[in-house]
Amino acid sequence: MDNRPIGFFDSGLGGLTSVYELHKLLPEEKVIYYGDTARTPYGSKSPDTIRRFATQIVDYLVSKNPKMIIIACNTVTSWALDSLRERYPELPILGVIRPTVRKVVNDGCKRVGVIATKATINSDVYGKSLKAMEPGIEVYSLACPAVVPLVEEGFTDTKIMELTVKHYMDDFVKENKFENLILGCTHYPLIAEHLNKLYPDIRLYNSSAEVIKDAKDILERNDMLACGSDLTDRYYASDLSENFIAMTDYLFAGTDFRVKFVKLED
Ligand code: DGL
């Protein structure tokens, strides 16, 4: 048994969708989350900047003594997973991409769409990893850079978001005729309703959820599951936007948690 918290982080509130999945699968686990709301979005930034921001956050989370860190961000996973693992070789650090790729391949998908930030699409990590596991698979990738800022601004359940999704997706879906779509950004489960309504025949794969199954396996195998912890979940943000607070209230209503502003120095 290990009652230390699991550290999560993202550029903003997208990674909260992964914590939501953790609560469903492992309700005994406690969380310490950092959302870099002051510097979101990461998806339009350079790999060096992404690595620098991610390192600052992981250093901060490590100072809180987590038993594991989940990079609840595809953009950071694409560009910083290896350097973060090198920096903390003793700590289990999980990215969101490999578990999602494994699930898609295990399900036997042949034609797969991937939507993500510009930085994730430019890295081609999904394309390369899918083809490394399943050489015959066809992968179609698309960056949707306007989605994250709209989510961060609280436009998730609006007509503007629906039109944005349609703007990106209509030709992409028509031209490539894939049956499966990877939500390659942890903000995107929040637009799943729009996608399901517009493209009901496409099966969605949620990177925020797949990583939690891996976390469960690792914790079980190493006898590190939490039990009866009296810690409180903590959600830190570099800018306490109204929307960050509203989202934690919405996703975690009924659980015991605290939200706090924490600035990280450059
Ligand atoms: N939610 C993140 C991801 O999974 C980051 C999005 C962004 O900041 O652009 O890629």
Over residues 15-70, the pLDDT tens digits come to 999 999 999 999 999 999 999 999 999 999 999 999 999 999 999 999 999 999 99
The Cα 154–Cα 247 span in angstroms is: 9
Is 109 noted as a catalytic residue in this protein?
no
Residues 66 and 110 both lie in one domain: no
104 belongs to a structural domain: yes
- Nearest-CA neighbor of 235 among 15, 1, 3? 15
- DSSP lists the bridge partners of residue 237 as 35, 261
Q: What is the 252 CA–ligand 1 centroid distance (Å)?
A: 21
The Cα 175–Cα 184 span in angstroms is: 20
Residue 235 CB less than 6 A away from ligand 1: no
59 belongs to a structural domain: yes
**Long-range contacts, 89-93 (Cβ 8 Å, 24+):** 91/62, 91/66, 92/67, 92/68, 92/218, 93/58, 93/68, 93/69
89 belongs to a structural domain: yes
Residues 11 and 70 both lie in one domain: yes
Which pLDDT score is estimated for 265? 73
Residues 214 and 160 both lie in one domain: no
pTM over 0.95: yes
Residues 84 and 118 both lie in one domain: no
Which pLDDT score is estimated for 238? 97
Residues 136 and 227 both lie in one domain: no
Q: Give the domain CATH number at 130.
A: 3.40.50.1860
Residue 117 CB less than 6 A away from ligand 1: yes
Residues 195 and 71 both lie in one domain: no
Residue 42 CB less than 6 A away from ligand 1: yes
Residue 78 CB less than 6 A away from ligand 1: no
Taking only the tens place, the pLDDT of each residue in 203-248 is: 999 999 999 999 999 999 999 999 999 999 999 999 988 999 999 9
- Side by side, the strands of the sheet bearing 257-261 are 93-94, 68-71, 6-10, 31-35, 233-237, 257-261
121 belongs to a structural domain: yes
Which residue's C-alpha comes closest to atom 9 of ligand 1? Answer: 43
What is the residue-averaged pLDDT of the chain?
97
Is 185 noted as a catalytic residue in this protein?
yes
Q: What is the 40 CA–ligand 1 centroid distance (Å)?
A: 8
Is the pLDDT at 266 greater than 80? The verdict is no
Taking only the tens place, the pLDDT of each residue in 94-124 is: 999 999 999 999 999 999 999 999 999 999 9
Residues 69 and 196 both lie in one domain: no
Residues 150 and 173 both lie in one domain: yes
Taking only the tens place, the pLDDT of each residue in 146-187 is: 999 999 999 999 999 999 999 999 999 999 999 999 999 999
Which residues fall within 8 angstroms of residue 102, CB to CB, at 6 or more apart? 133, 210
Owning domain of residue 65 = 6-95+209-261
Provide the number of structural domains found in the chain. Answer: 2
Residues 16 and 48 both lie in one domain: yes
Taking only the tens place, the pLDDT of each residue in 246-264 is: 999 999 998 899 999 999 8
